[in-house]
Amino acid sequence: MKEMDAGQSAGDLWVFGYGSLMWNPGFPFDQRANAWLRGRHRRLCVVSRHHRGNAERPGLVMGLDRGGSCRGIAYRVPAGAVQSTLAYLDEREIAHYPVYRRAFLPITLTGPTPVRRVTAVTYVVDRTDPDYAGHLSVAQQAAIVAVAQGLSGGNQDYVASTVRHLHGLGLRNRQLEAVLHALGEPA
């Protein structure tokens, strides 16, 4: 059972997005805020054979890996939509990517709401899973991303969109920018 935080209504849920959830949440929410998670960082480290790759040419998608911090977007889901949202997120994340583990972690909402800490659901990577790919160099990542295509589109488009949305928040991710640069795309 998660503990309720100040500024959180009974029964509602915060969801922390750090990859495609930043621009394509796919669930109802009644508030959106910039957010910061400590102890995990965004990394292109999850093998994708569904959304951004396939069995013949797997792609790479974002995961929350150990260490550092991550800025992203938090969404507050009203109580009446919590169960359907969790079911949707588990289907989107865990059903196709067993490397992810659902976690309830403390985040800091940084704007436009008043700065405060809440607990949010998010999905972190399990480094022991065979689909964890955090050991790849920038050149290896770029080679995979360049050719991968999945049900949700091209892997290169996914990386570029993530970087664009980060820049829209005034943020940088030098690792992702290096992958785009290796692909000949401006970061």
The residues assigned a catalytic role are: 93
Strand partners, 101: 124
What the block records as the tokens of 71 is 């800025």
Q: Which residue has the tokens 């977007």?
A: 73
Largest Cα separation within the chain, whole Å, is 48
What the block records as the tokens of 124 is 């972190």
Exposed/middle/buried for 182, CB within 10 Å: 0-12, 13-18, 19+?
middle
Instruction: State how far the Cα of 37 lies from the Cα of 176, in Å rounded to an integer.
Output: 18
Instruction: State how far the Cα of 120 lies from the Cα of 15, in Å rounded to an integer.
Output: 5
